Structures are given as C-alpha cells and as structure tokens.
Amino acid sequence: MPQIVGGKNITDSAQINTGVVTADDIATDAVDTAEIKSQAVDTDEIKQGAILNEDINSAAGIVDTKLAQITTASKVHGSSLTGLASIPAGAGKIPAANLGGAINIIPATSVDNDANVTTIATIPIGAGELGTANVMYFKIPVWKVKKATSASNAYIDCFYDDDRIAYVDVTNNAATFTDYAGYIEGWLWATGATNTQRGLIRSFFSTDNTSNNTVTAFNAEGTDVGAKDSTGALNLYIKWKNGDASVNDYIYTGPGFYTLISA
C-alpha cells in the first residue's frame, strides 16, 4: 500500500481515493478561496441547502441581471413601494379594482347637427352597484353650447336605461344664447332595494359679455324618479335633446368623469 512520506505534498488527486477525506478531516478556515482553482466548483459540487443567507456577504452587491423576475404573490410587500412617482410611464396602470371610488373618464363629444336626441355620455352601472348606500356621480365640462332661437326646445336629459330620471329644460332660459361654457353634473341613487331610483341633474353655463365686461349666466336643475330594477346591470345616459330638429342647436363637451360613491 502506498505510504505518505512526511512533509511531502500530494500533487496528484488520483492518489486520494474518493471518500477518504471528508469535511470533518478539514480544519475550519484551512482552505480559502486562494486555494480553489477558478471554476473548479460548480453547482454539482454544492450540497442542496448548504449556502444560507448568513453565508452571503452583505457587500456582495448582486446585480439585477442575476435575479429572476419576482412573480410569486406576497413576495414584495406594499410597504416597500415608497417611490411610486418614479414608476416609468410604460409600466402600466394600477387596476381600477384596486382603487376605492375609482374615477372613470367620459370621452369628449360634439353634437353639431339637427338630430332630435343625441347621447353625449354613457355610464355603465354594474349589477348590484346602485343601492341605497351608493350614489353614482358624474360631471361633464361643456366648452361650447348654443340655443339657436326662441323656437328651439333644448333639453339635457338623464336616463337610467330608458327611464328619464332627471332633466334640465334649457328652453325656459333666454330666447337665444351662443357659445356659452360651463358644466353638467348629476347624481343617481336608489331609494329602495329595487325598482325605485331618484336622479338630480344640474347645469351651469355662462359667457363673457365683452361690451360691459360682465358675465351672463344661467343655471338650472331638474329631478325625477324612475322605476327600474336596480339590481341589474344598466346604463346611465346623458343626452342632448333638440326638440325642434329644424334648428341647429349644438353642444360640445370636454372629457368628464363618473364615480360610484359609497356611504
């Protein structure tokens, strides 16, 4: 049997049988990284679970490219998100379901024709959303509106499905007005668990009278009731009604919004 001569180095690893030297035979700190040949140890030589958190130096500085994408739920705690202002524009939007009282956009519209009734906003209300403790609120800016003649019968109507809940009678104002600006806002709520709703719609329009540097304005509001089943999924419609289709009244609206307010 070959013998180890005292004081001599064994330079051929083949002279050491597998299993002869174990971890217990190597003194702590006897081998450091300087004695390990580069790339001599790969993942096959590292025992599963051998490397623990405390084995990684706090100054290791592991770069992002070495890390896999984190997709497991609850791996990133909300308290770690302290720099939302720095989120890039292309990162996407927070889902509306995660926002309390989500704000929803009503697109801009323009009605500049002789149509009798034109929908200027459609607001979807989901099944069960409209209850005795919930109110649907909307606001729509108007940047130009015209009531052409005293003969024109102009209305702003608020419908829950096909029930008119509320309306503003523009006809009852001055005989004519042109290029007024303002807003339309309204509320819809249920006064019972089913089939009873009440709505309120309000408008305010004004214009600058350059001849005397004063503001001419008119505002009006209207309210009514409906009898739809509030437990279903129905739409709320805001409509511009030109009662006299031969007169070219118009209304232009900017982007508005709607939101469901809960008690």
Q: How far is Cα 226 from Cα 92, in angstroms, rounded to an integer?
A: 39
Bridge partners, residue 200, by sequence: 187, 223
**pLDDT at residue 194 tops 60:** yes
Mean pLDDT of 78-83: 73
Q: What is the per-residue pLDDT for 93?
A: 67
Instruction: Find, among 196, 134, 137, the residue nearest to 165 by Cα.
Output: 196
Q: In the Cβ-directed half-sphere of 7, how many Cα atoms lie within 13 Å?
A: 0
pTM to 2 decimal places: 0.58
Phi-psi map region of 94: left, alpha, beta (phi>0 left; psi -120 to 50 alpha): beta
> Which of 57-71, 91-105, 146-160, 205-219 is least confident?
205-219
At a CB cut-off of 8 Å and minimum separation 6, what does 6 contact?
A: none
Q: The domain 104-262 is classified under which CATH number: 2.60.120, 2.60.40, 1.25.40, 3.40.50? A: 2.60.120
Residue 80 CB coordination number (10 Å): 7
Full DSSP string of 78-91: GGG---GGGS-GGG
Residue 209 pLDDT grade (very low, low, confident, very high; cuts 50, 70, 90): low
Residue 222 pLDDT grade (very low, low, confident, very high; cuts 50, 70, 90): confident
3-state secondary structure of 96: helix
